[in-house]
């Protein structure tokens, strides 16, 4: 009889371990896709126009651009104030310079907007990665809960079985005591 109980306990323990292994395997499979997306994000394919707009927007929004443009405007104004005769191509009030500045501003605005749109796309992808990381964490927490539930279930089952065995032992003792008291 003890051999059967030992075999049953070993069988129960093996079943319990198989359940834990199944939970771990399911968690690993579920996390695989998330990890692949995080480790190997899709390669960003940029057209030449997108690369150019990024470079122009980066230069147009830099101190280098502001300083170079300020120096160029200063030279333009000084030259047209002090130039003599035919060399004075844009006399005061510098109408040609205003036209060029307006054209630059008109061209620079859409280029910067294109670059901002691309930055929004990068931010969206970064948010997706954050979501995947949060999802992976949630899956790990869920897996831990499953493991804890399984362990608690097994512990409660073991407690009930132990209690049942104790009741059997108590019944046997009571039976033996009743038998002894009947003999007296």
In this prediction, the residues of the chain whose per-residue pLDDT falls under 70 are: 1-3, 5-6, 9, 33, 37-38, 41-42
Total domain count for the chain?
A: 1
What is the Cα–Cα distance from 172 to 97, expressed in whole angstroms?
Answer: 111
What is the Cα–Cα distance from 184 to 171, expressed in whole angstroms?
Answer: 20
Q: Which residues lie below 8 Å from residue 8, measured CB to CB, with a gap of 6+? A: none
pLDDT computed for residue 16 by the predictor: 73
Q: Which residues lie below 8 Å from residue 12, measured CB to CB, with a gap of 6+? A: 154, 157
Range of the domain at 85: 2-183
User: What is the chain's alpha carbon radius of gyration, rounded to the nearest angstrom?
Assistant: 40
Residue 33 in tokens: 């896709």
- The pTM for the full model equals 0.51
DSSP per-residue codes, 77-134: HHHHHH--GGG-SS-TTTHHHHHHHHHHHHHHHHHHHHHHHHHHHHHHHHHHHHHHHH
pLDDT computed for residue 20 by the predictor: 75
pLDDT computed for residue 41 by the predictor: 67
């Amino acid at each position: 009889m003890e051999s059967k109980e030992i075999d049953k306990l070993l069988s129960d323990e093996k079943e319990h371990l198989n359940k834990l292994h199944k939970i771990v395997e399911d968690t690993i499979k579920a996390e695989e896709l998330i990890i692949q997306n995080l480790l190997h994000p899709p390669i960003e394919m940029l057209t030449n126009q997108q690369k150019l707009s990024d470079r122009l927007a980066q230069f147009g929004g830099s101190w280098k651009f502001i300083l170079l443009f300020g120096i160029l405007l200063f030279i333009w104004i000084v030259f047209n104030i002090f130039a003599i005769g035919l060399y004075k191509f844009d006399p005061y009030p510098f109408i040609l310079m205003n036209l060029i500045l307006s054209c630059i501003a008109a061209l620079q605005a859409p280029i910067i907007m294109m670059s901002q749109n691309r930055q929004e796309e990068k931010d969206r992808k970064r948010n997706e990665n954050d979501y995947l990381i949060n999802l992976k964490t949630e899956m790990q927490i869920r897996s831990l809960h499953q493991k804890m539930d399984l362990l608690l279930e097994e512990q409660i089952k073991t407690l009930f079985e132990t209690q049942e065995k104790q009741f059997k032992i108590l019944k046997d003792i009571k039976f033996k005591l009743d038998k002894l008291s009947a003999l007296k």
